């Protein structure tokens, strides 16, 4: 399973809830990058320069990280990807990774939200968490990148008939209920 949506749409929160309810591992590229940045690993230092500017970390780095993660034992019985793929090249790489393990995506959930609401959410998160990648200019840049690149990813999954859109605006529990209902409908069709 894959959860996709613009920055601030609640992907991380909903991924944790889906993971807990369905008993599958949630794999967040953002969390992995932030852990590497905090640990000042070579990958983290490279990723930080892109993240601080609101740019995507290059596919070569991201693809290797995701490939390694999906080959770990806890992902063998199912997983939920959060934050990957973000480009059509990453869609192709994910397809190749899954083919190697004789797996496939069953559901792609897209959380939707208005850009102005997302800016408001992300500015609030920046104040609470002190995240350097959540100033207004960087937020707008990240949203522009999402619209330019990631929407093509959404279109690819829509063409495959596995995309389910869910409104990401509202109380967390309300959104979770919509997400779980959407997953149930997607699994039975």
Annotation-wise, does 150 bind a ligand? no
Coil, helix or strand at residue 70: helix
Task: Please confirm, yes or no, whether 140 is among the known catalytic residues.
Answer: no
Task: Please confirm, yes or no, whether 67 is among the known catalytic residues.
Answer: no
Annotation-wise, does 50 bind a ligand? no
Task: Please confirm, yes or no, whether 11 is among the known catalytic residues.
Answer: yes
Annotation-wise, does 90 bind a ligand? yes
Annotation-wise, does 115 bind a ligand? no
Task: Please confirm, yes or no, whether 38 is among the known catalytic residues.
Answer: no
Distance CA(51)–CA(66), nearest Å, equals: 17
Task: Please confirm, yes or no, whether 123 is among the known catalytic residues.
Answer: no
CA distances from 137 to 49, 89, 116, 143, 185 (A): 16, 26, 13, 10, 38
Catalytic pick among 67, 123, 131, 140 = 131
Return all residues near 92 (Cβ < 8 A) that are at least 6 apart. none
Annotation-wise, does 157 bind a ligand? no
Annotation-wise, does 8 bind a ligand? yes
Annotation-wise, does 58 bind a ligand? no
Distance CA(133)–CA(167), nearest Å, equals: 24
Rounded to 5°, angle at Cα 59 from 56 and 65: 100
Question: Could you list the active site residues?
Answer: 11, 86, 125, 131, 142
* Binding-site residues from annotation for AMP: 29, 34, 55-57, 83-86, 90, 131, 142
* Binding-site residues from annotation: 8-13, 29, 34, 55-57, 83-86, 90, 125, 131, 142, 170
């Amino acid at each position: 399973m894959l959860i996709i949506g613009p920055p601030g749409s609640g992907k991380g929160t909903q991924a944790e809830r889906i993971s807990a309810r369905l008993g599958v591992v949630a794999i967040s590229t953002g969390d992995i990058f932030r852990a590497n940045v905090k640990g000042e690993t070579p990958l983290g230092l490279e990723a930080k320069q892109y993240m601080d500017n609101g740019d995507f970390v290059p596919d070569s780095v991201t693809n290797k990280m995701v490939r390694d993660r999906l080959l770990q034992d806890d992902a063998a019985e199912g997983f939920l990807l959060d934050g990957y793929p973000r480009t059509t090249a990453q869609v192709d790489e994910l397809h190749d990774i899954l083919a190697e393990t004789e797996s496939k995506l069953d559901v792609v959930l897209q959380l939707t939200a208005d850009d102005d609401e997302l800016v408001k959410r992300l500015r609030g998160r920046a104040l609470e968490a002190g995240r350097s990648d959540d100033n207004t200019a960087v937020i707008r840049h990240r949203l522009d990148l999402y619209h330019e690149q990631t929407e093509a990813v959404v279109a690819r999954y829509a063409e495959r008939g596995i995309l389910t859109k869910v409104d990401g605006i509202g109380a967390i529990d309300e959104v979770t209920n919509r997400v779980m209902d959407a997953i149930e409908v997607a699994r039975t069709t």
